[in-house]
Structure 1
Amino acid sequence: MLDAAVAVPPPPPDEAIRGPKARAILDAAGELFLGQGFAAVSMDAVARQAGASKATLYAHFPSKDALFAAMVAERCDRMAAEAAALAGHGDDGPEAALRRLCRTVLAFLVAPATLAIQRIVQAEAGRVPRLAEAFFAAGPAAGRDRLAGWIAEEQRSGRLRADADPFEAAGHLGALLRGDLWLRAGLGVPPAPDVDAVDRAAAAAASVFLRAYGVPGEASARAN
């Protein structure tokens, strides 16, 4: 059993996972972890699946929980890049941009692969505490930091209240997105979320968030 007192291994630097061999390892790890769970997958199996030597595997990822954390971080990074691109402000204004951001994040949260990763972590957390810590650091905590950064930029641009704590506001937005739709999806309660359901839930989350953190003048402009 892993020692929970040891610090959580951080995901490798971005440049370390951009090469084709590291990419193949992450793809193989994702396929195996999602198909078999964390405990059943060995580093040997990942190396075989990726067509890599064990030396190459350990050169990129020093342990299985570090590999799992890197897989989570890489998937979150892809979602964050998409969300950042969609949240750029155009002629449709800040509310529409926030809705696009919320839609992208929520679609990621209720995606089958994302839910499968969370179930793996929940199932293994009692046995391997470091796995839960690594998942939290690479996924939810990093996501909250990204949202806080986006909110801080909106505050500097005058589109959100300047007196709010960006980190606290990010926590509120994350909680709004992890509502009934996310809970039902995580429990497998039908119906499975479709595009329209995600759009409605994202729009509702954006609307509530702007009531709490929007600039009053901009809120009046939207109403008119």
Structure 2
Amino acid sequence: MSRPTTRIMSDPAVLPEAGTSPKRRAIREAAAELFMAEGFGAVSMDAVARAAQVSKATLYAHFAGKEALFTDIIESHCTQMQAMMEGALPTRSPALEDALAELGRRWLEFLLLPRVRALHRVVISEGVRFPHLARGFYEAGPQTVRRWLAGWMARQQQAGRLRPDADPRLVADQFLALLRSDTFLRAVLGLPPEQPGGDVREAAAEAARAVARLYGAAVSPAADAAPDKAPD
């Protein structure tokens, strides 16, 4: 089976993490390519070491095993996705619906990247055989995004943009569920979008509109001027 020619770190949307050693990045990149091309079960740590051009001692100094390595790949993607989403918002927040539409667009664009979908397919196809892989993916990916978004919703509530009786975690869950619309399903199934270039933006706008109508609160001038970001 031929391996993908596009490397994870070659995509401009994914930049090398500050503070990560070059060897660790090389191992992560090589392993991701192998997992996408051959699946999780078929890849050995020996194969990863050869592809990354490192010794087995170096490989195991960074990662205890394949599941830890795969989880680290997902965590790296998730960390960079959060940074990308946070960078999309100005210091002083726009209206709740506008902010949600931008967050949703960025999240969907990232989720629909070919390499992200490929890693997702690895988990779906092999999660039953390797439950620790599925659990690690769930905690490092979806759960991390959910917690981050719930925290962001809580800050919107503190700023008076979200109804005081709303549960930030529930609002986050419903927003993410709305984003996984037909656009997401078509991409997961490998089908072309109905409207190239417009599906993601429209799906994000519709999800943002629904959440803002359900949970948005009238914003006072003072609250509207409050900084969007706050320490967790």
- TM band (smaller chain): 0.7 to 0.9
> Against the structure 1 CA distance between its residues 48 and 111, is the aligned structure 2 distance closer, same or farther, given a 3 Å change threshold?
same
The 2-side partners of 1:92 and 1:130 are apart by: 40
Alignment deviations for residues 108-133 of structure 1 (CA, whole Å, 9 cap, x no partner): 12222121111111111121111111
Q: Which amino acid aligns with 2:199?
A: A
The 2-side partners of 1:108 and 1:192 are apart by: 19
- The structural deviation recorded for 1:22 is 0.9
> Against the structure 1 CA distance between its residues 47 and 36, is the aligned structure 2 distance closer, same or farther, given a 3 Å change threshold?
same
- Counterpart of 2:193 in structure 1 is 191
Compute the TM-score of the two structures, normalised by the length of structure 1.
Answer: 0.84
- The structural deviation recorded for 1:87 is 2.4
Alignment deviations for residues 111-158 of structure 1 (CA, whole Å, 9 cap, x no partner): 221211111111111211111111111111111011111111111111
Gap regions ≥5 residues in structure 1: 1-14, 219-224
Q: Is the CA contact 2:146–2:173 (under 8 Å) kept in the aligned structure 1?
A: yes
Q: Partner of 2:82: helix, strand, or coil?
A: helix
1:73 pairs, out of 72, 75, 78, with: 75
Summarize the alignment of residues 19-98 of structure 1 with structure 2, pairs less than 5 Å apart. 19-90=21-92, 92-98=94-100
The 1-side partners of 2:154 and 2:96 are apart by: 14
- Counterpart of 1:211 in structure 2 is 213
Runs of 4+ in 1 over 4 A off after TM superposition: 89-92
- Counterpart of 2:154 in structure 1 is 152
- The structural deviation recorded for 1:42 is 1.1
The 1-side partners of 2:19 and 2:34 are apart by: 18
The 1-side partners of 2:124 and 2:184 are apart by: 16
The 2-side partners of 1:79 and 1:205 are apart by: 19
Q: Percent identity?
A: 48
- Counterpart of 2:223 in structure 1 is none
1:169 pairs, out of 168, 171, 190, with: 171
The 2-side partners of 1:164 and 1:124 are apart by: 37
Gap regions ≥5 residues in structure 2: 1-16, 221-232
- Counterpart of 2:8 in structure 1 is none
Q: Which amino acid aligns with 1:147?
A: L
Q: Which amino acid aligns with 2:98?
A: A
> Against the structure 1 CA distance between its residues 17 and 186, is the aligned structure 2 distance closer, same or farther, given a 3 Å change threshold?
farther
Alignment deviations for residues 50-75 of structure 1 (CA, whole Å, 9 cap, x no partner): 12111111111101011001101101
- Counterpart of 1:125 in structure 2 is 127
> Against the structure 1 CA distance between its residues 137 and 72, is the aligned structure 2 distance closer, same or farther, given a 3 Å change threshold?
same
Q: Is the CA contact 2:150–2:168 (under 8 Å) kept in the aligned structure 1?
A: yes
Compute the TM-score of the two structures, normalised by the length of structure 2.
Answer: 0.81
Q: Is the CA contact 1:87–1:98 (under 8 Å) kept in the aligned structure 2?
A: no
